[in-house]
Each structure stands twice: as structure tokens, then as C-alpha cells.
Chain A
Amino acid sequence: MKSFDRSDSKLVLAHVLFAFAALFIGGVAGLLQSMVKSGSIELPANIGYYELLTAHGVLMALIFTTYFIVGFLYSGVSHTLGGKLLPVSRKLGWYGYALMSVGTVMGVIVILLGKASVLYTFYAPMKASPWFYIALALVVVGSWLSGFGIFYQYIRWKKGNKGKLSPLFAYMSVVTMLLWQICTIGVAIEVVVQLIPWSFGWVDTVNVVLSRTLFWYFGHPLVYFWLLPAYICWYVVIPKVIGGKIFSDSLARLSFMLFLLFSIPVGFHHQLMEPGISPFWKYLQVVLTFMVIIPSLMTAFSMFATFELYGRSKGAKGTFGWVKKLPWKDVRFFAPFMGMLIFIPAGAGGIINASNQMNAVVHNTLWVTGHFHITVATSVALTFFGILYWLIPAITGRVLTPRMNKLGMIQTIIWCVGMFFMSGAMHIVGLFGSPRRTAYNTYNDHPDAVLWMPYHVAMAIGGSILFIGVILIVYNIIGLLRAPRGETEYPIGEVSEASEKTPAFLERWGLWIGIAVALIVFAYTLPLVDMIMNNVPSPGYVTW
């Protein structure tokens, strides 16, 4: 077994550790938030609820995820495309890391100074300090450099291996970064063309609906930027961890390409309740949103098939006998599996959110907060946690001990229990109408609002349990870094012998990018022209 390249190991580890530092600080902000929301505590004089909310959202949803994803993708690209990163790719990785880190530190300082409590969606006409927008622009540009590093390594590998099918992990990493590059163009235009000149005072007003549209052009594929790396683990790593095979290489590649096509031209389903966008374009983008159900169900099918084939190879009988054969006591399987299981209600909730009438029921309620806490903060986060237990040992030349495995199992259970209370309460009270993004408020003791209170307390209880989970995952990382020396294999699954040969058109990048661009142009051109021609300008507001 070839050990992981030392220089690459440093780059990957730097990203992973930064990600979890952000998770810890964001976790403190989240804990305090849930306590304030339930009326359990009052914050000392100068700390505002909305500062905490912004810090929590930015650090968890943007920084933790992006750093972990870049680190994870670089590790797999290094391992599967030649065993080490090319000097250019590694340099781009480090430049990206530096730029993102400067942006993160700057952004957090501006938020904590109370100059940018615009929530993580930075919705105009709420106006933050220009340095907040500049900070986040640096994070995005840094992530672009990291993406270029992955593209460079892939292109060079393809040139040196003409006619060969690229490794599945690398292929999926390129799709993920391609999705990211295409979607972040929207938010980059919003920040550079609209928000920075406006917040510096160079222009007096902002086109609100245009800025929100550009945000959601980025904001929905952002969800898939979080999910696709988790799917890489599910498709490529989990089969190896359980001792089974990848069900189908072609199915996996096709599902990723469909995610690329159908996760971008769909931002309007986040704006269903907004005026200024014609119902036809909202309808069209809802239809495109529902197309994402196809690759999602392909993924579910593929996972079930991998598990069933493995179970049957071990002698399982009956329709569900294979379930018993899965390695339930191995955290490398258990944590991502819980992520998969919880993705079932999460996905069902997503379909509800994207349906026009039902969006009216849940829009801007705590249901939505509950929804993204089981998608990104459970399905994605638990998968990322599960990755740690083999990634850190594999890149640092250590082994996962039974004790660390047990601690990982406990951490996973704590996370699921905490999220059951917190996200469950959010979903239910959201259906009762309790709004999201609001500090403690009894609404003059209105009877409806009083009924929400027990759920807000359940959210705080769940949030406190989750914070224990945050502390334990940090402890576990320290434990993994101090584990005994030894060799740990980087787990890459092999494709089942029963599966068909992968067709070459799945690697015709020009074709897929062309279709993606055509769909985006079709779904967005006329609505954008309409928004620019019929501008309703607004001055900025500091609402906090």
C-alpha cells in the first residue's frame, strides 16, 4: 500500500483543521442563538442576536463546508490522479487557502464588530460594511483558485492517459468544482457590480430583485456544492468501507451530470413569494427544480443496490435480510449512513419547499431553518464527520483505534438526537407559522406566539445537545491526530462486475457544459432583462 504524499497531506490537513475551527466558533454562536431565541438567556450588552446569526450562518454554511470540501476533493484527486498533486495544482491549492483565510478572518471581524448583520444570504436592501462583501469575495476567488488546481490535475491526467476512463472520484470532483465555478459567477456579479459600489456609497440605490436573483442563481447550486462531495463519499468510498462494490459507474457519472444540469437554472424556487418575477418563469424553474428528483432517486437506488448486493454476497435471505449484514459498528459507515437516512425526510421537505402553494405555507418560517439543518447540517455534516475517521489516519500515516471508533459512534448518535429535537421542533413550529430569523419575541403575548414557546425551548435543548456533539468531534479530531502510527488505506471502491461498460459520452465535457449553459440562458435571460428594464431602486437600510 502506497502511503499518502506528505506535501499533499499538509494541504489537505490545513483545510480540514480550518474547517473544524470554523465549525467550533460557528457552533458557539449557534448555541447562544438557540438560548436567546427560547428566552433562556439574554446576551451581554454589546452582542446582538443577528450578529450571532450571521456569524453562525457564514462560518457553518460557507466556511466549514468550503474548506472541508476543498480539502476532501484535493485528497481524492491526489490519490486517484497519479498519487500526488502536480506542483501547479498544489500551489493553486495553497494560494486558494491563503486567500480564503484572509477573507474569512476579515469577514468574521466585520460581523463581530456589528457592521454586517445581514444574515448569511446578505439580502439587499439590508446594507453591510463594504469590507464584509470584499471579505466574502476573497473567499469565493480563493475557492476558484482551488478549483483551477483540480481542473489542471485532471486535464494533465487525461493528456497522459488518452482514451482511458478517468477515475470516478476525480470525475466527480471536477463536476463539483465546475458547478461551483458556474454558480459563483452570479454572486460575484452581485457583490462586485451591485453591493460593493452601493455599500461604499458610490451609488445611492440598489436593484433589489436583481440582487436577490443573482444571489439565488448561486444560492441553490450552493446546496449541491455541499451535497456532491457527500455523494462522492456515498458512491465511491462507502462501497469499499463495507467491503462491497460500486453498483454502476455509468449511473454514478450520469447522476452527477444531471445534478450539474438541473441544480443551477432553478433559483426562482427560493423567490416564489417575491413580486417582480412573472409566474411563468417561476413555474418553469419549479419544473427544472423537480428534475433534480431524478438523479436524487438514482443515487438512492444505487446506494440500496450496493448494500443489497453486499448483503446477499454474505448470504442474506429475504427482502430486507441484507440490512443485518451491514457494518453497523463501524463509524466510517454508520455516520454517513445516518446522513443518507436523514436525507429521506430532508429531500421530501425540499420538494415541499419548491412547490408553489406549499411554499406559501412554509416560506420564511422555522420549517425552512429545520430543513437546511437536516440537509447540510446532518446529511452533509455527518458524512463529512464519517470521512474524518479514515481520511485523517490515511493522510497522516495513523490508524483508527477501536476507542476512536466508539467515540465516533457516540458522536454520531449525539448529533442525531440533538438534531431530532432541534430540527424536528423547527419543522413543526414552522408549520404553525413561527417565523425564522427572529430573536426572542412574544408578539405582545399573542395566543399563537405563546403556543410556539415550548418548541423554541425544544430547539434550545436540541441545540445544546448538538453543541456537545461539536465539542466531541473536535476532541475526536485531536484523538485521530494522536492515534498510533500505522498504514491506513485510502478507500476507493471498485465497480461491480455485473455493471455495464461506461459510455464515452459521459466524459464529453463540452457537451454537458453546453447543455448546462443553454438551460441557464433559457431560464434566466428574459427575467433578467425584465428586472433591469423595470428597476425599482432602493436605498440601503441598517436594520440592526
Chain B
Amino acid sequence: MPKPEDKKEEPALKGTFASVMLLGAFIILTWIGVFALFMARN
């Protein structure tokens, strides 16, 4: 178990978290878009 003085304060990365979530959502949406095109053409 770490001693109290070893504890480092976590930096605030709220914006980073939101940014990577948006990035992931963009990837999924484009993937679904082209997959829908594939389905529509079959």
C-alpha cells in the first residue's frame, strides 16, 4: 500500500477524455455510414 506522501495528484484531463470520446464516436459513425452503404448495395 502506498504511503500518503507517495500519492501524486492526478492532473485534470477532462477535456482530453471528452476529446478521445468524440474521436471514437467519429470513427464509429463513419464506419457505420460506409457499412450501411455496403448493405444498401447488397
Point out residues on A near B: beta carbons under 8 Å.
297, 300-301, 304-305, 308-309, 311-312, 319-323, 344-345, 347-349, 351-352, 355, 357-358, 360-362, 431, 496, 498
Query: Taking chain A's interface residues, is the majority helix, strand, or loop, or is none over half, making it mixed?
Result: helix
Contact of B14 among A319, A323, A362 (CB under 8 A): A319
Contact of B30 among A312, A320, A348, A498 (CB under 8 A): A348
Residues of B within 8 Å of A320, CB to CB, are 15, 18
Q: Are B23 and A360 in touch, CB under 8 angstroms?
A: no
Q: Is B11 an interface residue (CB 8 A)?
A: yes
Given contacts A357-B35, A431-B34, A431-B37, contact A498 B27 (CB under 8 A): no
CA distance A300 to B8 in the complex (A): 24
Contact of A360 among B14, B30, B38 (CB under 8 A): B38
CA distance A347 to B30 in the complex (A): 11
Residues of A within 8 Å of B23, CB to CB, are 297, 300, 344
Q: Are A358 and B30 in touch, CB under 8 angstroms?
A: no
Q: How far is the CB of B31 from chain A (nearest CB, A)?
A: 6
CA distance A418 to B16 in the complex (A): 30
Residues of A within 8 Å of B20, CB to CB, are 297, 300-301, 304
What's the A-B contact tally at a CB cutoff of 8 Å?
Answer: 71
Q: Are B34 and A308 in touch, CB under 8 angstroms?
A: no
Residue of B nearest to A302 (CB): B16
Contact of B26 among A312, A322, A348, A362 (CB under 8 A): A348
Q: Is B12 an interface residue (CB 8 A)?
A: yes
Q: Is B13 an interface residue (CB 8 A)?
A: yes
Point out residues on B near A: beta carbons under 8 Å.
8-16, 18-20, 23-24, 26-27, 30-31, 34-35, 37-38, 41
Residue of A nearest to B14 (CB): A319
Q: How far is the CB of B4 from chain A (nearest CB, A)?
A: 17
Q: Are B16 and A301 in touch, CB under 8 angstroms?
A: yes
CA distance A297 to B11 in the complex (A): 19
Given contacts A309-B11, A358-B34, A358-B35, contact A304 B27 (CB under 8 A): no
Q: Are A305 and B16 in touch, CB under 8 angstroms?
A: yes
Residues of A within 8 Å of B41, CB to CB, are 361
Q: How far is the CB of A355 from chain B (nearest CB, A)?
A: 7
Residues of A within 8 Å of B11, CB to CB, are 305, 309, 312, 496, 498
Residues of B within 8 Å of A322, CB to CB, are 15
Given contacts A348-B26, A358-B38, contact A319 B31 (CB under 8 A): no
CA distance A348 to B23 in the complex (A): 9
Query: Which of B26, B34, B41 has most chain A Cβ within 10 Å?
Result: B34
CA distance A530 to B37 in the complex (A): 34
Given contacts A304-B16, A320-B18, contact A498 B8 (CB under 8 A): yes
Q: How far is the CB of B39 from chain A (nearest CB, A)?
A: 8
Residues of B within 8 Å of A309, CB to CB, are 11, 13
Residues of B within 8 Å of A311, CB to CB, are 15
Q: Are B34 and A319 in touch, CB under 8 angstroms?
A: no
